Amino acid sequence: MVKERLSSIKRVSYDFMSIVPDKVIFGIDSLNNVIDYGYVRHIADDDELINLLRLRLKVFFIQQVQALQNSRSAFPLTTMTCIGIETLGEIFVKENKDDTSFQFVEIIKKIHQTFGRNPNKKYEKKLQEIWSEKDLKNIDCFGKIVYRFFRNTMIHGYQGRGMFLSYEDTETIEIDDEFAFIKINPDWYWNSFKSYYERQFVLIGQAETNNTERQNCLSYIKTFLLA
């Protein structure tokens, strides 16, 4: 049944390359009923659209990635956490065409203050020694190091090169100034992301209509997801 449905969706998608067809599953509603894109496109209430986006991320991302934490699959879990952070960046932060890391970094800085800190002189000097052939001028916080030397290198080669993982050596996050790397606990990273996701959607649901992040969220829904 599932295979037949997925096959059907795939065929429909080929017929309408410029738009996601109405019959494609969007997610669930507040009663756990499966809903499709056509259903969501007829909703005019902005609060309900935001809630349905929250539930979509919950059922298609949070709940499915949670299995990686349960099995202590450190590399996939941490990579998917980075994808989650980038997704929230796409939703809540306006794109900066001059900085591809901007949306990711703006979110990760809110997940934990350490990611917004600037590396000290000792860290910067060692980083320059390690990556002497690279332009590091825009590395002005640890969030950018995560983006450039973990998010990018994992997705494009499946190797962490500036952030390393450990369940045993740290319960949260540590900065090694001597060797210029970040050490992070995968569970803490994922749990911190989930906590931010929950808090952020509560805040956006309560925000005034002219709130920038709320407007960005609705723009993401209406001009990206549903267009």
**Same domain assignment for residues 12 and 54:** yes
Residue 1: inside a domain: yes
pTM, 2 dp = 0.89
Question: 48 with 82, same domain?
Answer: no
Calpha distance 130→29 (Å, rounded): 49
Domain annotation covers residue 202: no
d(CA 76, CA 68): 7
Residue 199 in any domain: the answer is no
Range of the domain at 60: 1-71
Q: Is residue 82 part of a domain?
A: yes
Q: Is residue 36 part of a domain?
A: yes
Tens of pLDDT along the chain (227 residues) come to 333 333 343 433 334 444 899 999 999 999 999 999 999 999 999 999 999 999 999 999 999 999 999 999 999 999 999 999 999 999 999 999 999 999 999 999 999 999 999 999 999 999 999 998 888 888 999 999 999 999 999 999 999 999 999 999 999 999 999 999 999 999 999 999 999 999 999 999 999 999 999 999 999 999 999 98
- The set of residues, in sequence order, having a beta carbon less than 8 Å from that of 193 and lying 6+ positions away, is 81, 84, 85, 111
| Whether 102 and 168 share a structural domain | yes
Q: Which of 15, 48, 71 is where one domain is finished?
A: 71
Asked if 91 and 223 count as a contact pair (C-beta separation under 8 A), the reply is no
